Amino acid sequence: MISIKTSKLIKSLNRGIGQAVDQYDMIQDGDRIAVGISGGQDSLTLLWFLQHRLSHIPVHYDIFPVYIDPGFDRNMGILMKEHCSRWGLYLHVDVTDHGIRAHSPENRENPCFLCSRLRRQRLFEIAESLGCRKLALGHTRDDIIETLFLNICYAGSICTMTPAQDFFKGKYTVIRPLAFADAEDIREFARQQGFPVFENPCPTSKTSKRKEIKEILQRLYQSNPNVKSNIFRSLSHVRTEYLLKDTSKR
């Protein structure tokens, strides 16, 4: 039996997902949606809600969870496949060497950048093989804010990931139904649901630039409870007249 506390959290998260899906027109009747699974609580929560919502909304869609194994620990794919099967879902596991290549001496780029690019490319390829034109990823409000600061600090641009984003001239659409969800709520939901904890096997997961940005933002959030919501709100209230002119092409 679901407790009152869990029920309230489910309703709150589901309401945020419904708002994101509706506002960005993410899902239509008959969609085939590939769902990127990493083993983290965010992607498992996304998968749970996408399946849970099917019995409560008038729209039907098919979901196909996909895990891209970066090559560090092949046991993870087996364990996640077993977990998905308990939900009545078949997890497509694709074993690659993306993580190994990204951390090899031959790679002069940021390991995270190359690994992420290779993984996304493979996700699109698998989505196409499954007849999916949409790819759902478990990025949250926190991820969107962190990406903004990563781009500001390390790419010199003010931009971030969007809740719905077309690729290859609209051939594929990446959707992020958890875009309005808070990472802390998802952690609590995953804990209440007893989701398994899969340890990230990436050797740089604890020293990445994203982790640095996350720690800086956490200090800001602790200083004022309104900081996170204000940053997120600012992304839809951009006053371009108060930004500098682009002089990079001069």
pLDDT per residue as tens digits for the range 120-147: 999 999 999 999 999 999 999 999 999 9
pLDDT of 106 above 80: no
Identify the domain containing residue 179 by its residue range. 4-242
Residue 248 lies in a domain: no
Which candidate, 93, 41, 90, places its Cα nearest to that of 67?
Answer: 93
Residue 49 lies in a domain: yes
DSSP 39: S
Residue 228 lies in a domain: yes
Which residue's structure tokens are 């699974």? 37
Q: Which residue has the higher pLDDT, 247 or 67?
A: 67
Tell me: the pLDDT tens digits for 171-214? 999 999 999 999 999 999 999 999 988 887 777 777 788 899 99
Q: What pLDDT score does 158 carry?
A: 95
pLDDT above 90: percentage of residues in the chain: 74
- Residue 195: give its domain's CATH number: 3.40.50.620
pLDDT band for 1, please (50, 70, 90 cuts). Answer: very low
pLDDT of 107 above 80: no
Residue 26 lies in a domain: yes
Which residue's structure tokens are 């965010």? 42
Residue 247 lies in a domain: no
Which candidate, 61, 68, 75, places its Cα nearest to that of 99?
Answer: 68
Inter-CA distances, 94 with 70, 110, 231, Å: 9, 23, 36
Task: Assign residue 146 a region (left: φ > 0; alpha: ψ between -120 and 50; beta: otherwise).
Answer: alpha
Q: What pLDDT score does 208 carry?
A: 82
pTM: 0.92
Residue 141 lies in a domain: yes
Q: What pLDDT score does 181 carry?
A: 97
Q: How many domains does the chain have?
A: 1
Tell me: the pLDDT tens digits for 4-34? 567 899 999 999 999 999 999 999 999 999 9
